[in-house]
Amino acid sequence: MPFLTAEQMEHFEEEGYLLLRGMLDVDAVIQPIIDEYHGVLDNLARELYATGQIESTYDELPFGQRLTRIVIDSGQIHAQYFDFSLPQTGIEPDTPFWAGPAVFNCLTHPDLLDAAESVVGPEIWSNPVQHVRLKPPERLVPRDHNGQALVSATSWHQDNGVVLSEADQSQVLTVWFPLNPATIENGCLQVMPRSHRAGLHTHCPGGTSGLRIPEQFMDMDSALPLPMDPGDVLLLTQHTIHGSLVNESDDVRWSFDLRYNAIGQATGRDFFPGFVARSKARSASVLRDPLVWEQLWRDTRDRLAREEQAGFNRWSADAAVCA
């Protein structure tokens, strides 16, 4: 896909989001990720079965149903097992993550980098605030001690709000896309158009995503659900308020959540490893080897497991808007 047109850029800047239908080649980009994650799920199923935590490896089930069955049996979500980032706290030498070649090839795909270049410029840093989201049906997932589902609708938030203040002056682009159809029933993303114009809001600790913007300070009537198909891509500014709906379907909702910013700008989690994804000024610095990328994450895990971990939250429940 070519770089964003002037009309697309105008929409992005005015509305705070841009939905690009059919941007990614499903066979070339999405399917390799799906195939790779089937292997990850195989490994998890065999580990849990070997330790008696699940009744079967459920090999005969499709990916989403298999994952859901494993979640029900084990009583755990296992989100970290699939993620290509580390958790915010509690990192141990054996904390799982997945940084496979299909994921790396997606992060560095020319179509995504073209879109990123349109927004942040030609010197592109792959920001390490990135995740895979595997959201099972809410009615089937385990509950905490308060009876709340461990995976539910994602609270209203801004991506700038979930990183440290050092990134407040950075221009960070969020790139969100589904790996299976994201529908209103299974918990698609929803945005608040034009909400980015007000800048960064105070976030309150709590909610299903750890932080939330209180709804009384937003125009809830403007909330816009965005059902998407595999191949569609959503671009968001760092100040666009967004969240997700509850998964009320019978299957998992599966998506990627990536970030890009200009080389040299703070990411808000600079102790996690980003990399040069594209550079016209210093092409030799571009990372092209997925094994090197994986090792960056392994080295970071080993280092952080030995250090005191400060966490990412800069907000306080004592803020007036959180009362």
The reply to whether 5 falls in a domain is no
- Model pTM greater than 0.85? yes
Residue 107 sits in a domain of what CATH number?
Answer: 2.60.120.620
The reply to whether 313 falls in a domain is no
The reply to whether 161 falls in a domain is yes
The reply to whether 12 falls in a domain is no
| CB-count burial class (<10 Å; 0-12, 13-18, 19+) for 279 | middle
The reply to whether 11 falls in a domain is no
Structural domain for 143, as ranges: 18-307+318-322
The reply to whether 62 falls in a domain is yes
Residues above pLDDT 70, as percent of the chain: 96
The reply to whether 9 falls in a domain is no
The domain total for the chain is 1
Residue 66 has pLDDT above 90, yes or no: yes
pLDDT tens digits along 116-160: 999 999 999 999 999 999 999 998 887 766 656 567 789 999 999
pLDDT tens digits along 280-303: 999 999 999 999 999 999 999 999
The reply to whether 135 falls in a domain is yes
Least confident of 13-17, 142-146, 157-161, 264-268: 142-146
